[in-house]
Amino acid sequence: MGFPVVLSIGEVLIDFISEEVGVINKVKSFQKCPGGAPANFAVGLARLGVDVAFVGKVGNDPFGEYLIEVLKNEKVNTENVIKAQKNERTALAFVSLDEDAERDFVFYRKNAADLQLTEKELKLEYLTNAKYIHFGTVSLTEEPSRTATISAIDKCREAGGISCFDPNLRLDLWDNLKTLREIMDKVLKKTDILYPSLEELKFILQREDIEEQEAVDLIMKKYPIDIVALKRGKEGCLIKKREDFFLAVPSFDVQVLDTTGAGDGFNVGFIFGLLEEKSIQEAGIIGNAVGALVVQKKGAMTSLPTREDLQEFLKHQKVEIGI
């Protein structure tokens, strides 16, 4: 059998997204949407035609059943999705949107199933045959998923795979920021591609007064990262490959409805570009394009484009990149 070329490890959950603008305690109704940044990443690549697997754990409950069904329907390989046997539940997140379509989160993660993934539940043959493994910090918040995630990264890289890290920092999920910094230091030493925001770099470097290029230079000096793709929101992205120049890639001018999943969309497009053997700059353009398509619709996973959507968008924007 052929193994997926990309693995995405971490959380898959339910996003309840507000159907009106306002703070959560004022909102009257929410729309149920599948979510979780690593799951969004997997679905995004699958929609672009990439052979991708999701690695994680869901609750033995209706939400878990629903999420497995969603992943299968999206053509994501679910052989590495474990169903919890105990009292763990599928995690929930409530998301509200303000007037600028920016988000606010409330998480329900007590006894979350995704944090119970164990190292023994990993399938070695998938890890050693993948070209890329993508991960974030949510699966690093607690044991046993912390050890499982780090072990998966190590096994993939030892077999020649490339690790891709989206910090996706949710400080309220960590009991101790000292522990967070220690864990991030550990995984950054194992990171080949990093796609952070400037705020995340400031947190990692513990420097509030730092500019973008200096932050990228410092993080690459401190850790053996090969590529940093700094996500700049409506300003696009700033990319630096080791021993190469900075590349500032502008964003696309689109109508923003919901920023949920925009960063996941960029990650999807950027890795897709590399898989298609495009240049770093072209990968950045594709990342910005997927992010631009995502923000024009509501929800994260639900708004990710197909390859045809992406081709049409690039054509409309008069961008000539063959995909």
Residues tagged active-site: 264
Residue 257 makes CB contacts below 8 A (sequence gap 6+) with 101, 295, 296, 297, 298
d(CA 179, CA 164): 21
Task: Give the helix ranges, DSSP H, for the chain.
Answer: 37-47, 62-73, 124-127, 145-158, 177-188, 198-205, 212-222, 262-275, 280-294, 307-316
The DSSP letter of residue 304 is P
Nearest CA among 307, 292, 285 for reference residue 258? 292
d(CA 255, CA 197): 21
d(CA 114, CA 134): 16
- Which strands, in side-by-side order, build the sheet including 227-231? 77-83, 52-58, 6-9, 132-135, 162-165, 193-194, 227-231, 237-241, 246-249
- Helix axes of 280-294 and 262-275: crossing angle, nearest 10 degrees: 150
Assess contact for 155 and 138: CB atoms under 8 A.
Answer: no
The token pair that represents 317 in the structure block: 């924007």
d(CA 112, CA 144): 12
| CB neighbour class for 323 (10 Å; exposed up to 12, middle 13-18, buried from 19) | middle
Assess contact for 37 and 268: CB atoms under 8 A.
Answer: no
d(CA 250, CA 236): 4
**225 three-state secondary structure:** coil
